Amino acid sequence: MDYSHKSIEQKWQKFWAENGTFKTAESTEKPKYYVLDMFPYPSGAGLHVGHPLGYIASDIFSRYKRLKGFNVLHPMGYDSFGLPAEQYAIQTGQHPAITTETNINRYREQLDNIGFSYDWSREVRTSDPSYYKWTQWIFMQLFNAWYNKETDKAESIETLIAKFETAGSQNINAESDEDVLTFTAEEWKAFSEEEQQRELLKYRLAYLRESTVNWCAALGTVLANDEVINGVSERGGYPVEQKKMMQWSMRITAYADRLLRGLDTIDWPEPLIEMQRNWIGKSVGASVKFSVPQLDTNIEVFTTRVDTIFGVSFIVLAPEHELVSALTTDAQKAEIEFYIDKTSKKSELDRMADTKTVSGAFTGSYAKHPITGEDVQIWIADYVLAGYGTGAVMAVPSGDQRDYVFAKHFNLPIIPISDSQNIEDEADPNKGGKYINSGFINGMTYQEAVPALIAKLEELKLGKAKINFRMRDAIFGRQRYWGEPVPVYFKNGLPYLIKEEELPLLLPEVDKYLPTETGEPPLGRAENWKYQDQYEYELSTMPGWAGSSWYWFRYMDPKNAESFASKEATNYWKAVDLYIGGSEHATGHLLYSRFWNKFLKDLGFHNEEEPFKKLINQGMIQGRSNFVYRVLDEEGRGTNKFVSLGLRDQYNTIPLHVDVNIVSNDILDTEKFKSFRPDFADAEFVLEDGKYICGTEVEKMSKSKFNVVNPDDIIANFGADTLRLYEMFLGPLEQSKPWNTNGIEGVYKFLRKVWRLFHDAEGNFNVSDEEPTKAEYKALHKIIKKVEDDIERFSFNTSVSAFMICVNELTDLKCNKRKILQDLIVVLEPYAPHITEELWELLGNEAGTISYAVYPKFNPEYLVESEFAYPVSVNGKMKMNLPLALHLDAKAVEEIVLANLDVQRYLDGKAVKKLIFVKGKIINIVV
């Protein structure tokens, strides 16, 4: 019987599904291990060979951990709310749920075909009401919570209300909006319900406020920063503008310091940790107020260089700053409005990235310098962002390059403030030297000046020391249909939660998935959709990241109708031990997940500060494109002739992408090409040695380049085990590498060699119970040790190479010993589960039990060499090899060597002057 991958793989996939082979135990004496893949979005295109890379790695590790005696949780589900399904619904009128279900079915089929050991009984989908009920519930907890800086954690809003009722707002140390009121307990009690709710909204962790957002009119929704590329939407390429809207936000900034500190406790790739550090962006500095007498207000700035305050020659506001309109004089109004309109068409990322363009506009107004009292011009410029700091900066051209370039461009003063500065050609931010032109800090050093200035600003009540974070609160609303409804209704313009027992708040039916004619989100189209038939529901839905910010908890306890996960489940599974996914989620999903995890811990629902202990970013599998070369005529027009790669220099040609699936080892199937391109049905091919050789290039996998490889095709031709091994064989997991089908036949041949170890030349199962030889034990124990070491350090590619060497050695030894082969397939099982299941059963074991076998114990004694083939030389010239036991001493070796007949022949009767012996290396006879 030959190796038949199709029948074997179908048999075992069916067996696993019917028998629940990978169903995880709820509780066990075994130690636990939680392996998780990043939540996939089920797109209509299905999987290409690049997608399963991380899934295969996590599956290998999961299977290995089962063999090592762990109770493994290895689940899979779908992040199934999203813009693509909604866009398809807009175009076709088909409900997004139908599209999503179709896409999920396709994904599931493909995942099953690859043989993953997921516990499918725990599958979750973010768009399932039984799941998003708990996403809504978590939102309600956030709405009903505030962040107490004294205890450094979130608490119920009831504890804040209790403080207000007993002591008013005095000594409240909370994360909140800037414009909170000061009041006594009596004043709080005298507030109306509306006044109290309005004030509490300034403290809640989920709150409403006017925010500057990325508004895409064509898509009818707000977009996250990472959904905007070069000022247009990532999906569809539509224009995006900055717009102020009333939006739900999450007070993630309350957790900024904890999010930063937590990075020191987790095993994540350093580049990813650095990205999070930069995104959080902790800065130690000072808050400074520049008064604006005509408006009876202050412009507050945050600076990390308060020592440069005497070098301030102008102030710059973000174009969206709330004071811009009031500050703009009549003479400057047209210029300011034009500039604001121009800026609104740029994304924040574009504004931050563009360091070459200098632009701005003068408001016509002035502020007072907090120490000198001098007038300071107030400008607006797009290099200042409304959401970073206070949306205003004090410009010090002598110390900051952007301010320097701005000042040069608009002919504004540049004041030197240090005797060590050189500002002839650029700003000089050095902190050396002593201050000049700086009032009472003249002659001071940096270390002396900072505390003196902060003390002075505090005395004037115009500043204080402050820690600032670059990270901003997360916008939590989307003007879309296909997302979680926010469980909120409005009374007198203020938000109130629906009752917990009314969850889930289901998505209503709408006639189409577009905004209403009056500009409301699609939910505004729902007929008679009101709370208690009178109050308006929130019409925005939650963003895509809502459901993926807590999903690992639901896998722990997916059927629980009473809570998102029981305390028993969270206490047992704790955190995810291994998380594998793409680095593109560094500042989105991973940051929000850490935030929600910490929040739920604060409220006592679990005990882990961080959700993911170890994280690996898998590299990208790039496409390997193939090209044919179309011959051009003398006038540069394309002909019907195609020339093979090695001959193209003899012609004038143009390369054309060709479908990689009709190319094998870079040799084109010319008949299939004619079907692929019917316009070239009568094409002529100029061949090399009877073959058409295609050109190649490594590019991103995309349909337009015809280089997308469907795993279904690979599995049909070579099997899932081959695909799994080959994806690991391509290179280190973390590195990007090109897909190249050319080498896949070698992996397939390797599996056939494994099969043949168990079968005789006629294909009959033939395994011996004889005791293995020392060489056979050595080959086995080398692979036991190698694979264990490699998997523990996630070096999967080197294991595949070692398997090939081991099987070649056993083939050369003609090994068919049960004691060797049974342990070998247990070691191979994580990589190639189907063939090993079949061989395990053929060996007489109970079907399906290899997944819970015991990983073989490495015995180092089998690798200890007891004999060495010594090279024997006479007068330095190598004559022969002589195998000798390694335990022999020099005297014993000399006796054996000189008594050897072959050695005697080489000596030819000559007297031996000396025998040089180096143990385990050489023997040299001097005559």
Q: pLDDT tens digits, residue range 120-174?
A: 999 999 999 999 999 999 999 999 999 999 999 999 999 999 999 999 999 999 9
Indicate if the pLDDT at residue 461 is higher than 70.
Answer: yes
Under 8 Å between Cβ of 282 and 244: no
The pLDDT of 718-741, averaged and rounded, is 93
- Nearest in space to 488 (alpha carbons), one of 540, 543, 561, 548: 540
Would you state the pLDDT for residue 6?
96
Angle between helices 818-828 and 796-812 (to 10 degrees): 160
Asked whether 85 and 482 are in contact (CB, 8 A), the reply is: yes
pLDDT in tens, 389-428: 789 999 999 999 999 999 999 999 999 999 999 999 999 9
Helix, strand, coil fractions of the chain, as percent rounded to 5: 40, 20, 40
User: Cα separation of 476 and 222, whole Å?
Assistant: 10
Q: Give the pLDDT score at 348.
A: 76
pLDDT class of 865 with cuts at 50, 70, 90: confident
| Confidence band for 868, pLDDT divided at 50, 70 and 90 | confident
Q: Interior CA angle at 403 toward 402 and 407, to 5°?
A: 120
pLDDT score for 158: 98
Which of the four pLDDT bands, split at 50, 70 and 90, describes residue 501? Answer: very high
Mean per-residue pLDDT, 516-522: 83
Instruction: Reply yes or no on whether the pLDDT at 589 is more than 70.
Output: yes
* CB-CB contact of 21 with 848 (8 Å): yes
Burial of 309 by CB count in 10 Å (0-12 exposed, 13-18 middle, 19+ buried)?
A: buried
Of the chain, the percentage scoring pLDDT greater than 70 comes to 100
Burial degree of 328 (CB within 10 A; 0-12, 13-18, 19+): buried
Residue 234 banded pLDDT, cuts 50, 70, 90: confident
Q: How would you classify the pairing of strands 361-368 and 867-874? A: unpaired
Instruction: Tell me the C-alpha distance between 3 and 754, whole Å.
Output: 9
- Alpha-carbon distances of 269 from 266, 584, 608, 785, 812, rounded to whole Å: 9, 13, 20, 26, 42
Tell me if 346 sits within 8 A of 280, measured CB to CB: no
Asked if 316 contacts 407 with a C-beta cutoff of 8 angstroms, the reply is no
Q: Is the pLDDT of residue 527 over 90?
A: yes
Asked whether the predicted pLDDT for residue 519 surpasses 80, the reply is no
**pLDDT tens per residue across span 554-583:** 999 999 999 999 999 999 999 999 999 988
What's the CA gap between 780 and 861, in Å, rounded?
Answer: 12
Let me know how long the chain is. 927
Cβ density class 6-21: b for 16+ within 10 Å, e for less: eebbebbbeebeeeeb
- Enter the tokens of residue 227: 């959904």
Q: Which amino acid is at 452?
A: A
Which pair of structure tokens corresponds to residue 352? 């931050």
| Residue 318: pLDDT band with limits 50, 70, 90 | very high
Q: How many CB atoms lie within 10 A of CB 875?
A: 11
Say what the pLDDT of residue 236 is. 81
Amino acid 468: pLDDT:
87
Q: How would you write 202-253 as a 3-class SS string?
A: CCCCEEEEEEEEEEECCCCEEECHHHEECCEECCCCCECEEEEEEEEEECHH
Closest CA relative to residue 767, chosen from 756, 775, 778, 751? 756
In the chain, DSSP finds a helix count (H) and a strand count (E) of: 28, 35
Q: Please tell me which residue, 586 or 276, carries the higher pLDDT value.
A: 276
What integer is the mean pLDDT of 753-768?
A: 95
At 469, is the secondary structure helix, strand, or coil?
Answer: strand
Nearest alpha-carbon partner for 659 in 649, 644, 651, 670: 670
Task: Give the pLDDT band (50/70/90) at residue 45.
Answer: confident
In degrees and rounded to multiples of 5, residue 292 shows phi and psi of: -120, 90
pLDDT greater at residue 92 or residue 519: 92
Better-predicted residue by pLDDT, 760 or 352:
760
Could you report the per-residue pLDDT of 660-691, keeping only the tens digit for each? 999 988 999 999 999 999 999 999 999 999 99
Coil, strand or helix: which one is 491? strand
Please say whether the beta carbons of 712 and 596 come within 8 A. no
pLDDT computed for residue 403 by the predictor: 95
Sign of the Cα torsion 270, 275, 276, 280 reads positive
Range name among 129-138, 355-364, 503-512 with the lowest pLDDT average: 355-364
Q: With contact defined as beta carbons under 8 Å apart, do 160 and 145 qualify?
A: no
Contact 222, 541 (CB under 8 A): no
**Residue 645 clears pLDDT 70, i.e. is over it:** yes
Interval 65-121: pLDDT, tens: 999 999 999 999 999 998 888 888 888 889 999 999 999 999 999 999 999 999 999
pTM reported for the whole predicted model: 0.85
- Mean pLDDT across 593-598: 98
In this structure, the number of other CB atoms found within 10 A of the CB of residue 360 comes to: 19
Cα–Cα distance for residue pair 266/359, rounded to 1 Å: 43
Both structure tokens of 392:
């205003």
Instruction: Assess contact for 248 and 142: CB atoms under 8 A.
Output: no
**Phi, psi (deg, nearest 5) at residue 237:** 65, 35
pLDDT for residue 544 is more than 70? yes
Q: What confidence score (pLDDT) does residue 742 get?
A: 77
Q: What is the pLDDT of residues 186-211, one digit of tens each?
A: 999 999 999 999 999 999 999 998 77
pLDDT of residue 463: 95
908-921 tens-digit pLDDT: 889 999 999 998 89
Residues 6+ apart with CB under 8 A from 775: 809, 813
46: left (phi over 0), alpha (psi -120 to 50) or beta: left
CA–CA dist 403, 407 (Å, integer): 6
Q: Phi-psi bin for 637: left (phi > 0), alpha (psi -120 to 50), beta?
A: beta
Res 86: pLDDT: 86
Which amino acid, one-letter code, is at 308? T
Mean pLDDT of the chain: 93
Q: By three-state DSSP, how is residue 490 classified? A: strand
Predicted pLDDT at 867? 78
Percent of the chain topping pLDDT 90: 80
Which tokens is 862 given?
């089998």
Q: How confident is the model at residue 226 (pLDDT cuts 50, 70, 90)?
A: low
Average pLDDT over residues 861-865: 85
